[in-house]
Amino acid sequence: MVEIPVRHKEKSSPLLWLLPLALLGALLGAWLLWSRSHDTPAVAADTTSTGRPATSGAAPVAAAAAAGSDCGESRFHFATDSAAIPDADRPQLDRMARCLQASQNIKLAIEGNADQRGTDEHNQELADRRARAIAHELEARGISPAQLRVVSYGENNLLCGENDQDCWAKNRRAAVRPEAR
């Protein structure tokens, strides 16, 4: 008769499974940090010059709040592949212009954005046209170009990353924000 050796199951050390789990957690954490640092959109060059160095602070935001919501943050949404400002948004431009005329210490950043469809180059150009359309309308209402700064993010500053009509509509926008002057 042949005797078959029987191996008894050895109790595994907790270190044998904790070490790979800790390594996996560290790798996941490193990947998350790396991906967040690379998701930040690049800021386009300032397209207007005031001859003064840029400053930061809460003063323009506080001034905008004191002047009312018309000088505060706003969003203008656009049709697909268009930089035409919808007629429904024109009253908001009128209110914003009145506020800027009354508070000339406020400067606005007008940030053009596009959805993720199309080429990077096309989306960058389309976002720039959207931001410039808002700036042009404010200038036509008597606002000094020195109070406006146009920035184009293209498709690099998405509000929504899904591939559907609702999400694309949210991303086709120009955001207007008060900033330091």
Instruction: Count the alpha carbons within 13 Å of 154 in the hemisphere toward its beta carbon.
Output: 15
Q: How far is CA 14 from CA 21, 27, 148, in A?
A: 11, 20, 62
pLDDT of residue 104: 87
CB distance 68 to 178 below 8 Å: no
pLDDT digit string, tens, across residues 13-67 = 666 666 666 766 676 666 556 555 444 343 333 443 333 333 344 444 444 444 4
pLDDT of residue 34: 55
pLDDT of residue 121: 97
Q: Which residues contact 17 (CB under 8 A, 6 or more apart)?
A: none
DSSP state of 46: P
113 compared with 9, residue with greater pLDDT: 113
Mean of the per-residue pLDDT values of the chain:
78
pLDDT of residue 72: 84
- The pLDDT of 70-85, averaged and rounded, is 93
pLDDT of residue 38: 42
Q: Under CATH, what is the fold of the domain 59-179?
A: 60s Ribosomal Protein L30; Chain: A; (3.30.1330)
| Percent of the chain residues topping a pLDDT of 70 | 61
pLDDT of residue 141: 96
In the chain, the amino acid numbered 55 is: T
**Which residues are registered as beta bridge partners of 111?**
151, 175
pLDDT of residue 113: 97
pLDDT of residue 28: 63
pLDDT bucket at 139, cuts 50 / 70 / 90: very high
pLDDT of residue 5: 66
